[in-house]
Structures are given as structure tokens and as C-alpha cells.
Amino acid sequence: MAARPAPYLDELNPAQRAAVEALDGPVLMLAGAGTGKTKALTTRIVHLLNTGRAGPHEILSVTFTNKAAREMKERVGRLLGQTVEGMPWLGTFHSICVKLLRRHAELVTLDLALGAGGEDPLAAAQTTAQAAAQQDDVLEDLTGQPFAPAAIPNHLKSNFTILDTDDQNRLLKQLIEAAGMDVKRWPARQLSGVIDHWKNRAWTPEQVPTSEAAAFNNRGIELYKQYQRRLIELNACDFGDLLLHVVSIFQRYPDLLDQYRRRFKYILVDEYQDTNVAQYLWLRLLAGGHKNICCVGDDDQSIYGWRGAEVGNILRFEKDFPGAEVIRLEQNYRSTSHILAAASGVIQGNSNRLGKTLWTDQGDGEKVRLIGHWDGEEEARWIGEEIEAGQKGARGVRPHGLDEVAILVRASHQMRAFEDRFLTIGLPYRVIGGPRFYERMEIRDAMAYFRVVTSPADDLAFERIVNTPKRGLGDKAQQKIQMAARQNGVPLVEGARLLLQDKGIGGKGAKELALLVDNIDRWGRLAGDEDLSHIELAEMILDESGYTTMWQNDKTPEAPGRLENLKELVKALEQFENLSGFLEHVALIMDNDSQDAEQKVSIMTLHAAKGLEFPVVFLPGWEDGLFPSQRSMDENGVKGLEEERRLAYVGITRAEEVCTISFAGNRRVYGQWQAQLPSRFIDEIPEEHVEVLTGSGYAGGGYGGGMGMGGLGGVASSIDSRVADANVYNSPGWKRMQARSHQRPVGQPKESLKTVIDLQAVSAYTLGERVFHQKFGYGSITGIEGDKLEIDFEKAGPKKVVAKFVTAAND
């Protein structure tokens, strides 16, 4: 077939073009951020299609996230000038492996899953059934059913289920108990961490090396074996199995592997630096025949070491694929030169880099802007204002739409302050790669506790918390409670009380239920107690209910983040007078439909931002301990710090035109001020690429005479911000502020300015008055109820809103 004209090639520079046109044999494109690796990779797909080298079904291309896969499909379509039919094998490692595994599930026998030597699958299936029949007192314990060999499937079926973390942990717990181990000391989540780690390394139970024998109290490997067996019986896989099984299948069935080698004529991999060993093996197996594999990556952007990614895979590439063409790209097309230089300055702090030169001809542009704030709330307020000002164009910078703006945080709990602030001022936003703060599991659990305390008839909330943490109140016990409530026409809490009185429930569950009911009563009384602040009450509820402890004992990688979110939740309470006020605020904002707006600011973690780009980027929370994260440094020392530094590099290099880094001098943790030091990464940005802005509360904003320009002026002149900040911390204004906040007697709700304003606000309105709401626009007041107004909005229709978000219409 004659090649059609290829105008898309004209968009590339010579190095990119070489990478695209070197269609045969292994190619490694190793280059810094924004140099057009993804663009070249996408163009390569287009070129393969356009030259007739391969059809859409014959190209295997792997990206890191679903979002990236979608974008790549779109770009291919755009470049080809037509919609791409299919491309069924363009996706994430996991999505592609699920597809493969559904086709070949029956090959995943117990024997294969355990990784024992290669046998005929049929014979293996028989021995498996026999072996299972002999060994399984465990099985009996677990199912509670008499053992029936015929009922046990000995391989996966194509309709297998993919277990979520909860199911996975429940299963592991059963196995740990059956092994006679104390699940409190040896929690399932810890075992799941160990097993995930092994699966990331592509180790089946038989392949786990003896050096790992001590894992999980010397029982890890045996439990891993039982777990794999149980999964097959349940016709299920966990996430790690998706890759592991496919690798095992390819290793055991060379003919099948061969078929796929012929089918996938070309293989392309983006973000190669973040592949783990299992993914690497999978690629090596598939590319082993024709070796038409093109991998692109950047060692400086390897940020998933904590999840088993091995940057060494890049270095190994040339060894595994001798004669590989290695292409380096040096021109960055994304960012202006100050931004690029700032990022390059930071990453130079790492040792063991492959090292590379980067340049841009996008002009100098704006310097990276640096600003210090009093605290996280102030930071969020300032960024909100900046974004709004930026929509109109400010300081000589062109106007920016909301979808050109991203806020990239190190830890998801940082999102809360932004979400609250943006909801308050009606600035549409989306959270990418995760739920919004108030939708997170732990936040909904905690709020369910608060709801039960403030309104004991809230049955939905009660159901959510009655057995969270586990209190031995399973489905049966909960049905009894439901029944008692229904029969007596009372809420569930009362139903539980009646059930206990009638001794309708016994054992450990009864004791725990009685304790919970008593606690709810007591917390409810304390909610009305003037001497106890609602913040302390909230902490008390989370502690006494065992909810905090549940996460403290949790060994999954997510647990520390969840604890931080809980702390952040308590912090959010400080802006409210009591728990009910807070719950109402959340209910109102969650119910908020202005979120259908077309344009939205994106909020996401730095990890989720990989590969993306935005004209305007805000990088808040650059404080030592938060970023670089203390945990990462504690757990992984210098390696951890270097991974954090790569994350900083990823963050800065997302920005095209404007990059703003900020830090807060204080973060409040459990109602206590905690002084923060600016991130060490700030010191690493070469001074000439930074412009220091005057902070809104930190330096210029009137928190006391001692805190004038001097503090940040010091940063400006030396960039040795930590020295400068030490001056700020010593200033009288700072100390006064610190003293004031610490002196507030615990248990005394602070005289709230907000209440005063709220009261004034309400009394200031009259029925029928025309008002303006930040989100819903103009409307007239149809009802006044406490601090809430019913308003008939001209565009949005009737709504109940909190008065403080409303101003008198002055037109």
C-alpha cells in the first residue's frame, strides 16, 4: 500500500522525527519533561497506521492512566484526520491485561497461579483437585461447608471478578485466622502489602525467594499460597494478579505467546520510568520476537518507587535489546525558560541521574512566583483570588480560563482548604484522580458519627457507623436492630436500645452495641455542653469510637493519608460554631449544582499530574515535612528525598506560562498551631528565576507591626528563605499571634467574628429583597430561617442557601 502524505511529520523536530520513522527494532526515547515524548509516541502510532505497517488492532500501546489513554486516542484521531476505529490495545497495563485474561482465564489453573513447574494443564488440574482434597481442613474452616471436590473449580473462568481492597483483606483475614495467628498483631492489610509487593516483582508463591521467608512472621509465603488457591476457588483475581497471571501464561505457553507476538506487531510504552518488574517482564516477553518496541520515559520523573516501580528498567533496556536506537530530545516545547530553569535547578540536587540538557525557545516568560502565607486557609483564599483575577488578565499576563489552571498538591488532605474556599466563592473545580474531599470514605464515616450525635434519628448515618470499626455487629445483628426499630416505629439507635433491653442480642456484639449506644447518648449531651468546644468533641468522638485507632492499626499505604484527612476534617470544624453548622455547610456544598460549569479549575495530586500540562500551575504547601513528605524521608531516607525531589520537578514542569509556589508559615493540627519551615526545595531554585511576591497575611497583611516586608524581603534578597523565615518567626508580630492562638483556653469556643457577621447578615435582609449569590446569581428572598435564606433565583430557581454567601444586590 502506498503511503499517504504525512503532514504530521512536519510538526516534529529532527530527533522526534527520527524516533517516529525508526519503525523497526527497539527504540528508547529518553528525555526530559515537555520535550514531546508523548507527542512523538502518538505520532508514531499515526505513522504506523498511515504507512500501512500495522492496523489499529495490531498496535499495543501502554500508558499510565486511563486519562492518558483517552487523550492519546483523541490525539491519534486528530492527527489522522479521522476517528480511529478501535485501537483495542491502547490502554493501561491493567486494562489490557484484563482483556487478555478474560480470553485465557481457563489457563490460570491452581498450578499456574502457584507458579509450580510447567505441566500439562489438564493433568495439573487433576492433581490440583486431589491435592486440594487431601489438604483442606483450612477450606472447611473457611467455607463452613463440608468439602465437596466436584464443586471446586480448578481454574479461573472468563467471568472472574476483580476483588477490591476490602474483599481482599476480608479473605486474607480468614486465612490468617485459620492459620491460628492473632489478626490484631498480624493484620490482613499488612499481609496484603507484602503480597502486592511480591506480585509487583512477578513472584508467584513458588518464586518468592528464600530471602523473603521471614515475611509476616515466617508465614507470608505459605499464606500467599493459600490466598492464591482461594482466589481460584472463588473465581477471582486481585489487582496484582492481572499482570502476574498473564506473565505466567506467556511463560508457560510459548505457542500462545507467539500468537500475541505476531498480533502485536508494534509495541509502544509511555512513562516507561514508572514500570514495575512484572510490567517490564510482560513487555519483554511480548517484544521478544520482533523487538519492535518503543519506550519513552524520563528518569527524573520516576515517582512510583513506593509502588514497586524500578527506574532501573530504563537502564536495562539497552542490555535487553542490544542495538536499540536511543534517542534524546532536548528541546522543551511546554514551558517558558524561567520555569524550565527553575525545574532544572531543583532536580540537580539528585545524584545518580542520567543527566540531560534542556532548552526552550518559548521566551523568558514569567519568573516562578513564590509567596508565603500565614496559614493554609489564607493560602487557599489567595489562590482563589489569583485565579479570579487571572480570568481577566492580570499583571500583563494574558487572561486565563479556569480550565487552563491547575492546583497540584503533595497530599490529598491539602485539597480540603481549596475545595471549601472555592465552593464558598463559587469557583468551579474538579478533583482529578480521586474523590472530592468530603466524598472520601473516611470523611463520610467521620461525618456519619457527627450526624448520629447531632441527630440521633439519622438512620443512614447509624447504619454506616454501627459496625465501623468492627464491633462484631454483622448482618444478622443489624437485621435485628432494623426489626426492633421498625416494630416500634423508632429510629435505629432507639431500636438498638430496645433490642438490648429485651436481650434480643447477646455475646460480644451486645456489649459493643451497648457501649456505642451509651457513647452516642453521652456525646449528644456533650454537644450541648458549653465548656467543651465542638472541635474537642469531634476528636473525642473519633477517638472513643475507635475510628481513629482503626486507621492507626491499618497497615495499607493509604492509611496515613486517611489519618491526615481526618485531622484536616477537624481543622475544617474550626470555622464553624458547632457540629450542626458544619454538617449543614457540607450538605449544602455537596448538593451544589454549579459544578456543571463548563470550565473548571483542576485540583489533583502531583502524582496524578504526570504527563499533563497547564498554562497556569499553583504548587501550594511547599513546606518541609509536607513537601518533601516527612514520611517518605523517614521510611526511605535519601532515596525517599530524591523521589520527592523528582516530584517537585514533575510539578514545576507541568506549567507552561505561570508557575506559583507557595508555603504557609503555620498549619493547624488538632487546633494547635504548628510552625512550618518553607520547603528545602525552595532553596534549590536558582534565585534569578524566582520572583518573591508579598504574602497576603504572612508578610504584608497586617498581623502586627513586626511582620512587615522584612521577612520576605529577606527571602527575596537571598532566597535563603529559611534564614529569612527564622527572622519572621522571631518577629514580635509572629510571637503575638502565636501566643494569642495558644492562649485560647481549651474548651472555650472562641468569640466568633463569623457569628456576628452571620447574625448581621440575616437581620439585614427582608422578604422580597433582591440579592446576589456568588454561585446562583440574582434572586429574591422568599423566606428567612435562622442563618439560611430561601431565595428564588432568576436562573437557578428556588434554593435554600446560607446567608453569608449572599450580598444585597446593588444594581
Catalytic positions are 37-38, 270-271, 301, 654
Please say whether the beta carbons of 371 and 695 come within 8 A. Answer: yes
Alpha helices in 698-731, H assignment, sequence order? 710-718, 721-730
Complete DSSP assignment for 347-406: HTT-SS------B--S---PPEEEEEEEEHHHHHHHHHHHHHHHHH--TTPPP--GGGEE
Distance in Å, CB of 72 to ligand ATP, minimum: 10
Distance in Å, CB of 67 to Mg ion, minimum: 12
H/E segment holding residue 193: helix 188-200
User: Applying CB under 6 A, does 333 fall inside the site for ligand ATP?
Assistant: yes
The dihedral region occupied by 415, where left means phi > 0, alpha psi between -120 and 50, and beta the remainder, is alpha
Query: Using CB distances below 5 to 8 A depending on partner kind, what does residue 85 bind out of ligand ATP, Mg ion, none?
Result: none
**Cα distance between residue 345 and residue 134, in whole Å:** 64
Residue of 16, 38, 478, 679 interacting with Mg ion (CB under 5 A) = 38
**Cα distance between residue 64 and residue 95, in whole Å:** 10
Backbone angles phi, psi at 667, to 5 degrees: -125, 145
The dihedral region occupied by 621, where left means phi > 0, alpha psi between -120 and 50, and beta the remainder, is left
**Cα distance between residue 796 and residue 593, in whole Å:** 9
**Cα distance between residue 604 and residue 67, in whole Å:** 13
Distance in Å, CB of 71 to Mg ion, minimum: 10
Cβ closest to Mg ion, residue 304 vs residue 805: 304
**Exposure string (b/e) for 697-707, b if CB count within 10 Å is 16 or more?**
bbbeeebeebb
Q: Cell for 158?
A: 472468563
**Cα distance between residue 804 and residue 533, in whole Å:** 22
Nearest to 9 by CA among 26, 25, 28, 22: 22
User: Applying CB under 5 A, does 115 fall inside the site for Mg ion?
Assistant: no
Distance in Å, CB of 130 to ligand ATP, minimum: 52
Residue of 3, 4, 11, 259 interacting with ligand ATP (CB under 6 A) = 11
Bond before 469 cis per omega within 30 degrees: yes
Query: Using CB distances below 5 to 8 A depending on partner kind, what does residue 561 bind out of Mg ion, ligand ATP, none?
Result: none
Which range of residues in 6-14, 381-389, 614-622, 791-799 is near ligand ATP by CB under 6 A?
A: 6-14
Cβ closest to ligand ATP, residue 11 vs residue 24: 11
Residue of 26, 30, 38, 226 interacting with ligand ATP (CB under 6 A) = 38
Distance in Å, CB of 285 to ligand ATP, minimum: 26
**Cα distance between residue 485 and residue 480, in whole Å:** 9
**Cα distance between residue 219 and residue 200, in whole Å:** 19
- Looking from the CA of 243 toward its CB, the CA atoms found within 13 Å total 24
Give the residue closest to ligand ATP by C-beta: 36
Distance in Å, CB of 403 to ligand ATP, minimum: 15
Question: Coil, strand or helix: which one is 754?
Answer: helix
**Cα distance between residue 496 and residue 452, in whole Å:** 13
Query: Using CB distances below 5 to 8 A depending on partner kind, what does residue 12 bind out of Mg ion, ligand ATP, none?
Result: ligand ATP
Which range of residues in 33-41, 345-353, 363-371, 551-559 is near ligand ATP by CB under 6 A?
A: 33-41
508 is in an annotated binding site: no
Cβ closest to Mg ion, residue 38 vs residue 414: 38
Q: Cell for 691?
A: 520572583
**Cα distance between residue 376 and residue 623, in whole Å:** 11
Query: Using CB distances below 5 to 8 A depending on partner kind, what does residue 48 bind out of Mg ion, ligand ATP, none?
Result: none
Binding mask 432-461 for ligand ATP (x = CB under 6 A): ------------------------------
Cβ closest to ligand ATP, residue 35 vs residue 228: 35
Binding mask 287-316 for ligand ATP (x = CB under 6 A): -----------x--x---------------
Q: Which residue carries 441527630 as its cell?
A: 455
Please say whether the beta carbons of 610 and 67 come within 8 A. Answer: no
**Cα distance between residue 278 and residue 285, in whole Å:** 11
User: Applying CB under 5 A, does 611 fall inside the site for Mg ion?
Assistant: yes
Query: Using CB distances below 5 to 8 A depending on partner kind, what does residue 11 bind out of ligand ATP, Mg ion, none?
Result: ligand ATP
Distance in Å, CB of 684 to ligand ATP, minimum: 20
CB neighbourhood size of 720 (10 A): 14
37 is in an annotated binding site: yes
Complete DSSP assignment for 678-689: BPHHHHTS-GGG
Distance in Å, CB of 75 to ligand ATP, minimum: 9
Cβ closest to ligand ATP, residue 16 vs residue 666: 16
Cβ closest to ligand ATP, residue 298 vs residue 564: 298
Please say whether the beta carbons of 347 and 645 come within 8 A. Answer: yes
User: Applying CB under 6 A, does 651 fall inside the site for ligand ATP?
Assistant: no
Alpha helices in 393-491, H assignment, sequence order? 415-425, 441-454, 459-465, 475-488
Please say whether the beta carbons of 106 and 156 come within 8 A. Answer: yes
Residue of 15, 19, 20, 37 interacting with ligand ATP (CB under 6 A) = 37
Residue of 26, 27, 30, 39 interacting with ligand ATP (CB under 6 A) = 39
Among positions 581-620, residues that touch ligand ATP (CB under 6 A) are 611, 613
Cβ closest to ligand ATP, residue 63 vs residue 109: 63
Give the residue closest to Mg ion by C-beta: 38
User: Applying CB under 5 A, does 628 fall inside the site for Mg ion?
Assistant: no
38 is in an annotated binding site: yes
Nearest to 41 by CA among 52, 51, 30: 30
Secondary structure percentages of the chain, helix, strand, coil, to 5:
55, 15, 30
Which range of residues in 8-16, 226-234, 584-592, 760-768 is near ligand ATP by CB under 6 A?
A: 8-16
33 is in an annotated binding site: yes
Distance in Å, CB of 678 to Mg ion, minimum: 30
Please say whether the beta carbons of 519 and 537 come within 8 A. Answer: no
Residue of 6, 9, 13, 677 interacting with ligand ATP (CB under 6 A) = 13
Cβ closest to ligand ATP, residue 78 vs residue 770: 78
Which range of residues in 5-13, 102-110, 247-255, 405-413 is near ligand ATP by CB under 6 A?
A: 5-13
User: Applying CB under 5 A, does 228 fall inside the site for Mg ion?
Assistant: no
Q: Cell for 505?
A: 442480642
**Cα distance between residue 308 and residue 310, in whole Å:** 6
788 is in an annotated binding site: no
Please say whether the beta carbons of 619 and 604 come within 8 A. Answer: no
**Cα distance between residue 731 and residue 702, in whole Å:** 13
Residue of 8, 16, 242, 382 interacting with ligand ATP (CB under 6 A) = 16
365 is in an annotated binding site: no
Cβ closest to ligand ATP, residue 12 vs residue 791: 12
Size of the site for Mg ion (CB under 5 A): 3
Which range of residues in 34-42, 416-424, 497-505, 774-782 is near ligand ATP by CB under 6 A?
A: 34-42
Distance in Å, CB of 149 to Mg ion, minimum: 52
- Looking from the CA of 63 toward its CB, the CA atoms found within 13 Å total 21
Residue of 20, 28, 33, 232 interacting with ligand ATP (CB under 6 A) = 33
Please say whether the beta carbons of 570 and 670 come within 8 A. Answer: yes
Which range of residues in 135-143, 309-317, 352-360, 607-615 is near Mg ion by CB under 5 A?
A: 607-615
Residues placed in the known binding site for ATP: 31-38
- The site for Mg ion (CB under 5 A) is made up of 37-38, 611
- The site for ligand ATP (CB under 6 A) is made up of 11-13, 16, 31, 33-39, 298, 301, 333-334, 611, 613, 653
Residues placed in the known binding site: 31-38
